[in-house]
Amino acid sequence: MLVGVPKEIKNHEYRVGLTPAAVKELTDNGHQVVVETQAGAGIGFSNEDYEKVGATILATAEEVFEKAEMIVKVKEPQAVERARLRADQVLFTYLHLAPDAPQTQDLINSGATCIAYETVTDNSGRLPLLAPMSEVAGRMSIQAGAHCLEKAQEGRGVLLGGVPGVEPAKVVVIGGGVVGQNAAAMAVGMGAEVVVLDRSLDTLRKLDAQYNNRIKAVYSTQHSIEEHVLSADLVIGGVLLPGAAAPKLVTRDLISRMKKGSVIVDVAIDQGGCVETSKATTHAEPTFIVDGVVHYCVANMPGAVARTSTIALNNATLPFVMQLANKGARKALEDNAHLLNGLNVAKGVVTCEEVAEAQNLPYRSAKEMLTEI
């Protein structure tokens, strides 16, 4: 198979779909790889690094899309990239379609086979291609939140861990999944007072046992969310419903009653955000303020630590890239039900039920569409 790696073009996005090490795995297995010039330069991977492992460097993204049978990216394709997709191509990347109707429609119109990292599953029902970036985003959420709490950033002027004689900041983490667990670990390590809200008693028990009462593990209800958010200095939104739009658990009314200068980091923003006042921001302009509350809603948070993120992501995606390249899309999807769960759009049809429901679109199951790929 001929695999293409374009340079990412989202604001301050330096990650790259395949590292040179991943490219070598493909070329050693007889596949061809074309890489847009300087695609990995932002994180220290030169054109020469790719050429040494057998890749061909192309001058433009147009050439990469024109030649490739499968496009491997990191972030969802931007409008100009979506216009280049063809019906005979496979797209393998993060998509986050539920809150993004324009992207969904463009992918439908392209006819391409579009597989989303974030809905691929594993034997335990987890999301192995989302997990590494959730780990990064969860950890980053605390350092971003700590920075936003500084007075110069219009925060309350509170040090997360406090100092002897001064109370630490209160960090409230909504969602005890991968994002929440990693956020809690960082917040505890920095000496904050930490509350984690979740609806899974098993998750709460594990967190309680792990931290030996160092955190408060609280069952999530509207009442408990209100109680803890109103007293928080920093709120981390880490809620995920696989493939679906995030529920709005923090309302506009609640925002209006929060402490002035408190901070919200909405890590769920890729799926629309779990805070009613959230809107996607960029690394160039990461924050905005509503009712005195600082909102940090960067939609590609892990892009800020792009080298770490790229390598971590490739460690997870490479086995699936190899299956698609070695077997072709149809056979790979037939043989691996977990990869099939990643199929979101194929041949002009939405194949992810949550996306179809969120946008009121016609739906056919991924399995049903296999014969047409």
Residues with a catalytic annotation lie at 96, 270
Strands 56-58 and 32-36: parallel
Q: Which whole-number Å values give the CA distances from 180 to 9, 54, 129, 239, in the listed order?
A: 29, 40, 17, 8
Residue 360 identity (one-letter amino acid): N
d(CA 289, CA 267): 16
Q: Which residues face 345 on adjacent strands? A: 114, 350
Count of CA atoms in the C-beta half-sphere (13 A) of 185: 13
Residues sharing a CB contact under 8 Å with residue 213, sequence separation 6 or more, in sequence order: none
d(CA 62, CA 85): 10
d(CA 97, CA 245): 9
Do residues 54 and 38 lie in contact, with contact meaning Cβ atoms separated by under 8 Å? no
Q: Which of 301, 318, 162, 191 is nearest to 237 (CA)?
A: 301
d(CA 285, CA 224): 32
Do residues 169 and 147 lie in contact, with contact meaning Cβ atoms separated by under 8 Å? no
Q: Which of 242, 343, 129 is nearest to 367 (CA)?
A: 343
